[in-house]
Amino acid sequence: MIFTIALILLIGIGFFYFKKGGFKQSLPYYARQVLLTKAELNFYRQIQPILMELNLFASFKVRLWDVIDVRKGTEKSFTYQNKISSKHIDFVLIDRDTNIIGCIELDDSSHNEKDRQEADQVKNEALSAAGVPLIRVKATRTYKKEAIRQQIMNIL
């Protein structure tokens, strides 16, 4: 009888402990294998020699909010922050001192979708308002390196 009561008590204590988060499950995160998509990696590999020649570097998948910010004193600034906080830029071109030179967006077929077009418009307008040059490149297997070099040179 005492054994049964003790067992019920232990089960009850264990149940309440579990409900309070005592037996935490492992967090639902996993490590991604790669940072860039195949298309982004292909593009990067093709522009890397151009960047090296121009003494530039590329940061990958940078939050738009890390590139631009909302001016202090802006009315309803939270609204503007929300528009940029969850978006990212494929490539941010920087110099050796990490000065931002401009951004590159690689547009694949998903950019034909309405929601992506709206997100692209937000990026276009926000970067333009902040005075940060944006180069949009249509994703393909191969790129005309001289054309890309010229686009980068135009923003230097």
pLDDT in tens, 38-95: 999 999 999 999 999 999 999 999 999 999 999 999 999 999 999 999 999 999 999 9
Q: Which helix (H) or strand (E) holds 92?
A: strand 88-94
143 within domain boundaries: yes
The pLDDT, as a whole number, for residue 109 is 84
Cα–Cα distance, 57 to 76 (Å, whole number): 35
1 within domain boundaries: no
**Domain count for the chain:** 1
145 within domain boundaries: yes
Buried b / exposed e over 29-56, threshold 16 CB at 10 Å, is eeeeeeebeebbebbbebbeebbeeeeb
Cα–Cα distance, 5 to 37 (Å, whole number): 59
The 10s digit of each residue's pLDDT in 106-141 is 998 888 888 889 999 999 999 999 999 999 999 999
Please tell me the pTM assigned to this model.
0.80
| Contact assessment for residue 123 and residue 105, using Cβ atoms and an 8 Å cutoff | yes
110 within domain boundaries: yes
Q: Name the β-bridge partners of 100.
A: 94
Per-residue pLDDT, averaged over 143-151, amounts to: 95
81 within domain boundaries: yes
14 within domain boundaries: no
Q: Containing domain of residue 58, as a range?
A: 38-155
| Contact assessment for residue 16 and residue 8, using Cβ atoms and an 8 Å cutoff | no
